[in-house]
Amino acid sequence: MPRSVWPFAKLTPLLGFWRLQLFLLCIALAISGLYWLLQGNTNPTSQVLFTFIIGNCTWLAVTLSAPLLIKQQFPWDWFVYLAVLLPAAAVSSSIASVASRIVAGRTDHLLALDWFDIRIGTFFSLVTGVALFISGKAKARLERRNRELERQITVGNRVAGP
């Protein structure tokens, strides 16, 4: 679809769709490794399913709310970010819980809320999301400083020019 008719101009991720999926796969493997170390669980299907569903849903919610985040100053940017991240993570955790039940073949009480799944999914989303938010803010600050330095160098070269 041409960029001029694509309705969501902000939905082009910085890393690209496939790099996001690769990043989510790495997170899924890390979470599966933690479950294997702590509980001896050797079936990573539910962790991989949860990671991809929660990761993509929260990425979409945060990307759509990016205009609100950009306009805010500290500490309001954190409040807005958490106000978007936590509900999106909880809703996507419940969706992932239903999908996990379908994949496992447990269709009885399919739409019953599993609070354990929601808490765990929201917790991992919070940890990962906060780390990404901090690194994104630092990267944006460094890019701003680089642009400012480039502007000062350009102005300095014009003043001291031949």
Q: What is the pLDDT of residues 123-145, one digit of tens each?
A: 888 888 888 788 878 888 899 89
Looking at the whole model, is its pTM more than 0.85? no
Mean pLDDT of the chain: 80
Question: Which of 41-55, 60-74, 140-154 is least confident?
Answer: 60-74
- In terms of pLDDT, which residue wins out, 11 or 119? 119
- In terms of pLDDT, which residue wins out, 109 or 86? 86
The two structure tokens encoding residue 159: 């003043």
Average pLDDT over residues 56-60: 86
Average pLDDT over residues 73-97: 87
Give me the DSSP letters along the chain. --TTT-S-GGGS-SS-HHHHHHHHHHHHHHHHHHHHHHH----THHHHHHHHHHHHHHHHHHHHTHHHHHH--TTHHHHHHHHHHHHHHHHHHHHHHHHHHHHHT--TTTTS--HHHHHHHHHHHHHHHHHHHHHHHHHHHHHHHHHHHHHHHHHHHHHT--
Average pLDDT over residues 103-113: 78
> Which amino acid would we find at residue 110?
L
The two structure tokens encoding residue 80: 């807005």
> Which amino acid would we find at residue 124?
F
Average pLDDT over residues 61-84: 82
Answer for the pair 54, 93: CB distance below 8 angstroms, yes or no. Answer: yes
Task: Tell whether the torsion through CA atoms of 42, 45, 48 and 50 is positive or negative.
Answer: negative
- Percentage of the chain exceeding pLDDT 90: 2
The pLDDT, as a whole number, for residue 5 is 41
Q: What is the pLDDT of residues 7-50, one digit of tens each?
A: 445 545 455 788 888 988 998 898 888 888 988 877 788 888 98
Q: Is the pLDDT of residue 2 over 60?
A: no
